[in-house]
Amino acid sequence: MAVTQEFKQAVLQNNNLKTKIMLKDSLLVDTSFNQFDEMLRYAESKLMDFWVKDEEDDEILSDDPQEFDVILAGLVNNFSHKRVNHLKKMISTMYPRKVEKKLPLAKEKQFVIRQAGKVQQECKGITNNSKDILNVVALIDKKKCMNNKDIDKIRKAAKSIIEHCDKITGSRCKNGNNK
């Protein structure tokens, strides 16, 4: 994630208000807080001083989600470590991160597909089995418990996904040679 030109310009112009607003907004845009941390490092590296001492931010910060907007808006005028940390804690609770792993396909693992129709059929099987797993997980989440039947359904769908992947792997070639 890169720091935007607009943010860099606000910092270089020593526009404390705009800088703090953009930092505040980034807390909600990226709930991993990586963007916020990167922006903060940039602003601090330019010797920008916008922090309020924690003891000067004497407001009692509630954990009540209904007070969140007020606490977040207050960050602009009371940009303290105490308030930032409190907001990060609240955001992590209110908007749990969804872990997404994007694994790049290594060049040596890129293949030309010979039997496109068969591969599409296997991919459809993977999609259907993935939906089966998601349905079971949604049911578990709804009833707040799981039983052996649920686990068996997930295992069966996962096994089927592996079988479909194995079939796809068997229908690919690399540089004109079979795997």
Render pLDDT for 147-159 as a digit per residue (tens, 0 to 9). Answer: 888 888 888 988 9
The tens digit of pLDDT for each residue in 14-59 reads 999 999 999 999 999 888 999 999 999 999 998 778 899 988 888 8
Counting other chains too, the contacts that 126-131 makes at CB distance below 8 Å and 24 or more residues apart are 126/161, 126/164, 126/165, 129/157, 129/158, 129/160, 129/161, 129/164, 130/157, 130/161
- Please report, rounded to a whole number, the percentage of residues in the chain having pLDDT higher than 90: 40
